[in-house]
């Protein structure tokens, strides 16, 4: 589960990590002082795409709120914005906690090149420190302070890193990424942006997650070919692969692998559609559901919502059977959405638009 920025910052605030003062808004609110307005979409790179706006007057504030609520970023339109106090930023850094899967431990990663260009940074600009079972946080904080050339901040960085690591383990996170971590003109260290991914497999022991976030569980999505014209949605990794093979055998180019998983609900399937619309070459979407644990009616509801909500949705070619398929068929009939009786029939009709 990929938290929105404000949800991630709420989690950090609970762990006593300093985040900017701010509030979540759904429309223009009272303007009190210069602020930064941030589109709350589940993707990064908002700064470059116009999703972060600094406003200094009431007029700027109102215009920016209206713009941002309509601005689609990588296929996502925000439901809310985060309005935060404007920080007087002196420098921006990168700091994250994640899992080193090869070494089976937690690592802290730090870099002086924080901010919007971090993906372009050289890998040797990152300091990587493993977190042992009994971590020496003083040593880690000192090493990070040296690396970032912030000797006066060693104590504060030690504290931030210790709290981040505790927040990471307690919440079963797989990533906490602070980018940027900023040093303000008055020499405070503040988390200006934060991305948190929580491990969906640990959901059963976190009843509090339903309060924390409305974000759907992650779907297993892999882009296969940016020029692929046929997107696929299936339940179960095996069926997803078989569907891709069938597309390939029909001499079409599969765009992606997408397994909606066993417990998929309407929200997670809708998220799957949104991921697909980010692959721009797609001309047809083949949906192949053979439902056991998955419920066809949940998938059908998502299909209907997608056709209503997503503009420029490529045509759908649907084959669906199994649990609750009778309810699903009724829902789809009522919405005038056609299905095929076999995967072969689906792909043959898809070929007419995607060849
Ligand atoms: P992202 O592009 O989605 O990662 O969004 P960020 O929240 O990281 O914001 C992008 C950039 O906007 C940051 O690297 C900062 O340079 C700038 N920014 C964000 N918040 C503030 C702020 O309060 N004050 C100033 N001056 N700049 C900000
Ligand atoms: Mn950022």
- Contact of 191 with 12, CB cutoff 8 Å: yes
Distance (angstroms) between ligand 1 centre and the Cα of 205 equals 34
Distance (angstroms) between ligand 2 centre and the Cα of 301 equals 34
Distance (angstroms) between ligand 2 centre and the Cα of 347 equals 40
Closest ligand to 43 CA?
A: 1
- CA dist 117 and 74 (Å) reads 18
Q: Compute how many other C-beta atoms are within 10 angstroms of the C-beta atom of residue 210.
A: 9
Distance (angstroms) between ligand 1 centre and the Cα of 314 equals 34
Quick one: which atom of ligand 1 is closest to the CA of 5?
Answer: 7
- Contact of 108 with 140, CB cutoff 8 Å: yes
Quick one: which atom of ligand 1 is closest to the CA of 114?
Answer: 14
Closest ligand to 36 CA?
A: 1
pLDDT one digit per residue (tens) for the chain, 355 residues: 899 999 999 999 999 999 999 999 999 989 889 999 999 998 888 999 999 999 999 999 999 999 999 998 877 889 999 999 999 999 999 999 999 988 899 999 999 988 777 666 677 899 999 999 899 999 999 999 999 999 999 999 999 999 999 999 999 999 999 999 999 999 999 999 999 999 988 988 999 998 898 887 777 888 899 899 999 999 989 999 999 999 999 999 999 999 987 767 777 788 788 888 877 899 999 999 998 888 899 999 989 988 988 888 899 999 999 999 999 999 999 999 999 999 999 999 999 999 8
**How buried is residue 21: exposed, middle or buried, by Cβ count under 10 Å (0-12/13-18/19+)?**
exposed
- Rounded to 5 degrees, what angle do the CA atoms 150, 153, 154 make? 95
- CA dist 140 and 119 (Å) reads 24
What Å distances lie between residue 251 and 154, 285, 286, 340, CA to CA?
59, 15, 14, 20
Phi and psi angles of residue 35, each rounded to the nearest 5 degrees, phi first: -145, 165
Residues with CB under 6 Å of ligand 1 are: 36, 38, 44-47, 52, 54, 84, 86-87, 89, 92, 115-116, 179-180, 192-193
| pLDDT for the residue numbered 1 | 87
- Rounded to 5 degrees, what angle do the CA atoms 353, 354, 355 make? 105
| pLDDT for the residue numbered 44 | 86
Closest ligand to 45 CA?
A: 1
Quick one: which atom of ligand 1 is closest to the CA of 49?
Answer: 2
| pLDDT for the residue numbered 119 | 65
Phi and psi angles of residue 186, each rounded to the nearest 5 degrees, phi first: -95, 25
Quick one: which atom of ligand 1 is closest to the CA of 84?
Answer: 23
Distance (angstroms) between ligand 1 centre and the Cα of 190 equals 12
Model pTM score = 0.76
41-50 CB contacts, 8 Å cutoff, 24+ apart: 41/4, 41/73, 41/74, 41/76, 41/77, 41/78, 42/2, 42/4, 42/76, 42/215, 43/73, 43/74, 43/76, 44/179, 44/195, 45/73, 45/74, 45/116, 46/73, 47/116, 48/116, 49/73, 49/74
Residue nearest to ligand 1 atom 25, measured at CA: 87
Quick one: which atom of ligand 1 is closest to the CA of 48?
Answer: 2
Beta strand 220-223 with 256-259 is antiparallel
Ligand 1, residues 35, 50, 56, 89: which to mutate, most atoms within 8 A of Cβ? 89
């Amino acid at each position: 589960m990929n938290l929105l920025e404000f949800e991630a910052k709420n989690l950090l605030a609970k762990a006593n990590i300093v985040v900017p003062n701010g509030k979540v808004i759904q429309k223009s609110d009272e303007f009190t002082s210069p602020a930064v307005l941030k589109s709350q979409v589940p993707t990064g790179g908002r700064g470059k795409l116009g999703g972060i706006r600094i406003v200094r007057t009431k007029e700027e504030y109102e215009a920016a709120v209206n713009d941002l609520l309509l601005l689609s970023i990588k296929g996502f339109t925000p439901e809310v914005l985060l309005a935060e106090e404007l920080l007087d930023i002196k420098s921006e850094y990168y700091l994250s906690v994640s899992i080193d899967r090869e070494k089976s431990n937690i690592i802290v990663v730090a870099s002086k090149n924080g901010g919007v260009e971090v993906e372009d940074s050289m890998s040797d600009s990152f300091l990587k420190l493993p977190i042992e079972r009994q971590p020496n946080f003083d040593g880690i904080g000192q090493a990070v302070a040296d690396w970032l050339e912030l000797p006066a901040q060693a104590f504060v960085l030690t504290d931030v890193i210790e709290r981040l690591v505790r927040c990471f383990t307690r919440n079963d996170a797989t990533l906490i990424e602070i980018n940027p971590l900023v040093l303000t003109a008055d020499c405070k260290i503040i988390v200006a942006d934060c991305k948190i991914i929580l491990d969906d497999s640990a959901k059963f022991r976190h009843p509090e997650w339903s309060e924390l976030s409305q974000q759907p569980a992650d779907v297993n999505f892999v882009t296969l070919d940016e020029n692929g014209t046929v997107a696929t949605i299936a339940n179960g990794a095996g069926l997803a692969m078989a569907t891709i093979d069938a597309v390939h055998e029909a001499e079409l180019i599969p765009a992606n692998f997408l397994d909606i998983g066993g417990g998929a609900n309407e929200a997670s399937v809708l998220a799957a559609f949104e991921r697909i619309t980010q692959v721009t070459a797609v001309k047809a979407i083949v949906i192949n559901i053979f439902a056991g644990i998955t419920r066809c009616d949940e998938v059908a509801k998502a299909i209907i919502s997608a056709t209503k909500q997503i503009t420029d949705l490529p045509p759908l070619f649907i084959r669906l059977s199994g649990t609750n398929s009778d309810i699903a068929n009724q829902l789809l009939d009522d919405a005038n959405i056609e299905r095929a009786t076999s995967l072969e029939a689906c792909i043959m009709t898809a070929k007419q638009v995607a060849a």
